[in-house]
């Protein structure tokens, strides 16, 4: 396997730049062109961003219109009704299953515990008032 070694020669006679020999009027022209290009780039970027936001708004508006039109279609209406019915049934079945599990494990549900806590708090309050009345 042979490797090639490349050497870079740094000859002072070949180290020159076009900018060293370019006339001043050419430098000014290049500067003006660069400035104009930067302005156009900024303007193009601004227009592009504006177009992007307007397009996004139009797309969202059109999607909403299509969704509204689809909701008017009888089959879609029926599908939404079926979805709502199914969701209600599933929730009812899940609640019933959870109740069965709590009952079989002889555990109280959170709402029952909160109800009992409220009753205990009421009883404690009544007990305190009775104790104060007896002490007086």
From 55, 85, 63, select the one nearest 71 (Cα to Cα).
63
What pLDDT does residue 61 have?
Answer: 96
User: In the predicted model, is pLDDT for residue 99 greater than 90?
Assistant: no
Mean pLDDT of the 62-83 span: 91
Residue 2: band (very low, low, confident or very high) from pLDDT cuts 50, 70, 90: low
In terms of average pLDDT, the best of 4-8, 9-13, 79-83, 100-104 is 79-83
How many CA atoms are closer than 13 Å to the CA of 57, on its beta-carbon side? 6
Give the Cα separation of 72 and 93 in Å (integer).
31
pLDDT score of 54 more than 70:
yes
For residue 18, pLDDT beyond 80: no
**Residue 54 token pair:** 């307007």
Q: Which two tokens stand for residue 41?
A: 């780039």
């Amino acid at each position: 396997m042979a490797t090639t070694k490349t050497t870079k020669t740094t000859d002072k006679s070949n180290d020159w730049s076009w900018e060293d020999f370019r006339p001043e009027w050419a430098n000014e022209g290049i500067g003006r062109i660069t400035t104009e290009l930067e302005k156009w780039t900024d303007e193009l970027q601004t227009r592009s961003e504006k177009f992007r936001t307007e397009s996004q708004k139009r797309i969202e508006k059109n999607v909403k219109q299509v969704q509204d039109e689809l909701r008017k279609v009888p089959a879609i209406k029926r599908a939404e009704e079926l979805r709502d019915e199914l969701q209600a049934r599933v929730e009812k079945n899940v609640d019933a299953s959870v109740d069965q599990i709590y009952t079989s494990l002889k555990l109280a549900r959170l709402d029952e515990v909160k109800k009992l806590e409220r009753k205990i708090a009421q009883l404690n309050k009544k007990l305190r008032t009775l104790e104060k009345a007896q002490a007086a």
